[in-house]
Structures are given as C-alpha cells and as structure tokens.
Chains A and B, each alone.
Chain A
C-alpha cells in the first residue's frame, strides 16, 4: 500500500502483480498460496510438491475426487510429465526433474504458465465442476455412451474363449440397450411432469418452471443448504477468475522475467526420454481399424478402376476424336474435380455451423418459442434423424458386406443347407 503512494507508476505495477497472483491462487481449485508462486520464481525447493499437485489437478482428465488425492506424489509427478509431453510441452528440463519433489519449482511454474497461456484452463476447470441448476441435456454426442477407463482386470479373459460366449455377451448388450431405452422414456415422462406441475414458479421468467434440482432443494432443505453453499463457493471462484483476467498482462510480464532467469537449454539430443502417454490414444487400436478399412477400400478401388479403365479405353478408341469430344471430356473432368473437392472439404474442416457443445438446460414451453441463442427440440430432432439414417445406412452396408463374404466362404460346401433366420 505504501509503495503505491510513493511511486504511482511503478507502484501500481508492483501492486498489480500480487493482486494478479492472489487472484490466480483463488481461482485454482485448492490452489497454492501466492507465497508458493513467489518462492517458485527463486526455485525454492519447498514450493515444488505443491506445484506438482497443482499441475496434476489441472491436467487430470477427470474432475477432482478423493481418489485423486490419495495418489502418491511420485506417481502424480510422472503422470504430469507424460501429460505435458503428450501436449507437446517444449522444455526438456521438466522431463528431467526428480519426481520426489525435491527441486524444480521454477520449471513447474513455467509449465503452469505455459498451460495457462495456451488455453482457457481456469474456465475449463470451473466448467467441469459447475453446479448444474437445471435439468441438462448435452447436444453433442461426446459423452453419450462413453467407454470408461480400462476394463477391470478380473474381467479380462485369460485364455481362449468359446465364440458362443461372444454371442452371449452380445445378447446381454442388446438387452441393456433396450433397458436404457425404456428407462430413458420413463425419465423423460417424469421430467416433463415435474416441469409441467411447477410452471409459473420460477423467478426467472425465461425459465418459467423449476428444474428437478430446484424442486429437490425445496423438498429437502438440508440438501438445499449444501447446494447453496456450493453455488456461493463457485461464485467466489468465478469472481477470482474475472479478477485474474483483468490483471493478466502483469503476470505475463513477470513470467517473462522468470523465464529470463533460466539458463537457455541446449538443443535436444536425438533421443528423447520416452514417456508412457497419459492419454492412451483411442489410439493404436482405432488407427489400425481405419488403416485396414482404407486398405480394403484401396484394393477394391484398384480392381474396379483397372477394369473400367480398360473397358473405357476400348470404347473410346471406337469413337471419334473431335473437338467436342475433348471439350466434353474436359468438362467432365472439371465437374468431377469440383465434386471430389467438396467431398474432401467435408472432413478437412469441421462442419461449419457446428452444434454447440456442452449441456443445455431443458425448458418446457407450450408454444415452443425460443430465443436466438436457444435451441429448439424440433430442430435437434431433425438433425438427429438424419444422423440416425446415415449411421443405419453405414451399419446395413457393413452387414451386407459381411453377408457376402460369409456366403462366399461357406456356400460352396456340399451337404449343408444354410437357412437364414426369418427376416424382419
């Protein structure tokens, strides 16, 4: 405070930095105190473990829970290193830090700042732990039937398994799908009823009725108290993030100075320390499948194209070679190029008006009127129906392909009659 009065310009800057750091500390979940940041600048060892833990929280793909807290520091450190590596973090010094938390706080501070500079990390973390006040439905399919972590070890088959076991598992899956459908229908009916019965209650005219969370809060006041506390806690963190955003530039200037105190690193040796990737890429398995698909496609195309090219050349030799002929051919070429270009653009760029990610709050309105930024259920239904049709076509096509192949493999045997199951 006194500094500010003495020298306004520099004082303002000096005052702003502690504020910025304090805001940052408040906006991070169980964030380290501002003191830690200051110590990290001077590479003090006592700041190291707190920063490892913070980085772990930030980089962990799952929202924080008690399970995360119980992981040992060494494991956390290792996972942080691999996560940073897979995100493309350039500094090698971090990779070489000891994992017991004995030193390296300055490197960790740099890593944290790198993450903060690259994306809206704080907002994302807040969004992950947001208190949903309404009944929400996600519009995109990102987490629809998301596969969870690696399968429990005891579930994995040890040795060869009879193929009928697969049939049994598949049957179980079909049943579970049916169960999901009926449960979901019931849930929607109940939700709709609750919305209907509480219309006219909400203080926000836009919403008009209570959500399940809000009604539950009224029914169970103690739970409501908890909800209120969480809500207020979240608001405090939001305020901290806003304060941080306002005072950001000062922080980045300071980080530049921190970076300046580090010795420049030598260019990497050829071999980089290998890390086990944190994000086990849907990885190799998925890529394999796509490669194989494309390879089969390539084969098929190669055959077809050869055949047709030969046939065409034979035919083309028969006709004349007039100017209209070559003009027609050129026109065809151009059309085809344009079509194929459009096709390529389909996957090169993400589809133009991408549907908004993230959850939407369900609101029941008899007239179905919606504002500009709101989504209407009817439109979403249309989009989903076309998606459904597309996917069904793909599935049918795959099944047809299998049918052909199996028929080819099995049909030639004498003494057996293959009776297909009664069709739909």
Chain B
C-alpha cells in the first residue's frame, strides 16, 4: 500500500488525465453525432414548406381508422392526379421563366423547393404557402435546379398523402401501400421526396442570402479589427502608456510585482530549458571522444552545462520565493487549461481565423492523429515524471522483504518502464540445497 499523501497525489494526477480524455471523447462524440446525421438522409422538415404544422400529428393517428378507401374514391383520385399533373407541367413552364427574372425572394424559393407541389398548392392553398414560406422557412436554401414532374398526390387528401409519404419509410405494410402504387404508376417520376442525401445532392445546396450577408459582414468586421490591432493609433497607444504610468506612480505599490502570467511564462521557459539541457547532457556523456581535442571540448561543454543548470536552479528558487505559499483555493470557476510544454508560447493572435488547407482524407487523418499523439505524449511524459518522483523513493526506501514489496516493484516497473502497458514476471528461484 502506498502512503496516503502519495496515493492522493497520484490518484489526482491520473484521474485528471482520465477526465481530460473523457472530456475530449465527449466532444468528439458530439461532433460524430452531428456528422453522421448530416450524412444520412435528411429529415424532410423544410421540404414540406407548404404543409400546415398540425398536419403531421393528425396524420399519424388519422390513417388507422380510415383504412381502405372505396374503389370510387380511388378512381376519382386517379382523375384528379392526372389533372394536377397537367397543371404542374403548365405551371412549371411559367414559374421557371418567372423565377429567373425576379430576385430570389423567399417565397419563390420555398415554393420551388417543394418538389412538384408548387403548382398544386398555389391555386389551392395560397394562404398556407405564403404564410409558411415567409415566416417558417426563410433559411431553407434548397434549390432544385430541375423540378421533376412528380406525380404528387394532392394536398386535399392529407391522409392519403401521408400514407404515401409514410409508405416510403419503414411502414411499408400499411393499407395505404397499395394505394400508393396505384398513384405512383401514372406519374413518370420517381417516388416522392426523398431522402435527400448529402452524397447525391450536396453540391446543389446554397446558403441562404441572409446568412451569406451576415457572414460576410462578420468576417469583414473581424478583418477590420485585426488591421486596427496592428496599426494601433499613436494617440491611443501614447495615452494608454501615460495612464498606466500615472496609475503606477499614484499608487502605493512599490514596483510592479511579477504577475502570475509572467511567472508562468518564466516557468515554462525554464521547463523547456531543463529538457533541452538534459538532452544535451545525455549526448555529451554518451559521446566517446576520439582525441584530446574532442575530450577537451566535451569537458568544457559539460562544465558550461553545469553552470547553466546552476543558473536555472537559482532562477527557479527565486520564482518559488515570489510565488507565495498558499493553500489550494476551492475555485468555483475552475482554472484555465494548462499550457502544454510543447507549445511555443503566445504569438500575437490574429482575430479572424486563417485557413488550414488539406488535400485528402488521409492527410486530414494523419494530421489529426499526429496532433493527438503529441498531446498524449505530453500527458504521458508529465505522468512519467510524477510517477518517478513518487514511486522511486518508495521502492528504494522500502524493505525488500515480503510479497508486498515485490508487488510494488512489479507495479513500479510496469508503470515507469513500460508505460503501464506490460508487466514483468518475477520468478522465485530458491537455491537447491
């Protein structure tokens, strides 16, 4: 068993790492959900732009009781369908010409959107179409360049229509299925509205005008902000420094103390220094000098490194003194993310995001995998150092007797030398007397 304080620290570190991974995993899964949904067939929410909202609900219950329509109804339906098809063809000719002339208004767009229902709905229920187009689906930008002559069943029989629509889904064995087939036969076009998939029709999408305008305005404002940042007016800059100086002199504080950010930056630099120095020392110690000159140079290098290490240590001690000892604060707002040591440090950020261009799926995957690998290595190295600091002293201090010591050694070896991935075996080999 590990001592209590050591346990606490180790568990805290490992748990922290686990939490960070869980957090990232959650983000990835959310993104995956969204992506998967986008790549499947889209729910035709916006496509039925002209459909009055309560309809879907009522239609769910509706069909069940009124199951089989009479043959009389069917025949009438057929006539009606043919008439409407003709109307659609006529209308389509007119609307296409009209659409090209006028600016893409919301109304026309959403009306063109609903495949084939345009013509049928406009004469029949203009109020519905108009109302819905203007306030419900202004952002629907799905424009189909060709309006296929779909034999859309009329809207006047919502139950039938719904059955038709439902028939497309998984609810095939419905009494309406037969009806659907009858209906669809006269029409030359394929079934109804689809399953819009990104794969087939993705390139037809268009962003709505309102959004485009807002986005371009937004990006130009950000760009203005960036340029203003770099060319800060002389007056403003001078006024600011003057104000800061005034505050400094008017205040009781002696000299500007080291801010936490500066301490962190210094600590980061020293951490980098430490790893660079260590690497260099290893190099020098393992190099085999060929001749006297090399040996001399090696010696000088080592001496120089020794001085540098001493300087860094001194600077660190100074920093520690500057950071006054305090008990940990139960901070309700959490703390800012720990800056990873691999990161170069804060360059001047530009406010508008720049582009990162990739050319294939493979490249993107490689890039993301490498980023993750570097982050994981960072985490692993940090944990390695923590484990070394905690476990090695325990192993050297413990009495080498009893199975618990062996467990400790085995665990220490596994964690420290194999990254926790493999475990060694200890064989008890009593000498035969």
Contact = CB atoms under 8 A, between A and B. Distances in A.
Contact of A377 (B214, B251, B359): B359
Contact of B252 (A166, A191, A268, A360): A268
A312 B303 CA distance: 13
B247 A301 contact: no
B243 A336 contact: no
Contacts of A74: none
A346 to B, nearest CB: 6
Contact of B247 (A91, A241, A362): A91
Interface stretch (B95-103, B154-162, B361-369): B361-369
A61 B242 contact: no
Contacts of B20: 145-148
Contacts of B330: 150
Contact of B349 (A219, A333, A356): A356
A207 B216 CA distance: 12
Interface in B100-134: none
Given A141-B374, A183-B25, A419-B427, A221 B353 contact: no
Given A145-B20, A187-B31, A198-B202, A249 B139 contact: no
A404 B19 CA distance: 32
A181 B21 CA distance: 11
B367 A384 contact: yes
A332 B253 contact: no
Contact of A228 (B137, B211, B241, B312): B211
B413 A87 contact: no
B252 A391 contact: no
Interface residues of A, number: 229
Interface centre among B243, B259, B367, B431 (most CB of A within 10 A): B243
A18 B385 CA distance: 56
B306 interface: yes
B4 A118 contact: no
A149 B354 contact: no
Contact of B205 (A134, A198, A319): A198
A406 B409 contact: yes
Binding site secondary structure of chain B: helix
A180 B339 contact: no
Interface in A127-145: 127, 131-134, 136-137, 139-145
Interface string A300-314: 111011001100100
A325 B39 CA distance: 76
B240 to A, nearest CB: 4
Contacts of B312: 294
A201 B274 contact: no
Given A192-B364, A290-B316, A375-B356, A281 B263 contact: yes
B375 A335 contact: no
Contacts of A343: 276-277, 280, 308
18 contacts: A147-B337, A156-B8, A161-B1, A167-B415, A183-B25, A184-B368, A185-B369, A187-B368, A252-B240, A290-B274, A294-B316, A312-B296, A354-B347, A356-B354, A373-B355, A381-B367, A394-B279, A406-B395
The 4 lowest CB-CB distance pairs between A and B, nearest first, are A149-B334, A146-B337, A170-B420, A144-B375
Given A248-B239, A358-B350, A395-B380, 6 more contacts: A62-B334, A144-B375, A173-B17, A256-B243, A308-B302, A376-B358
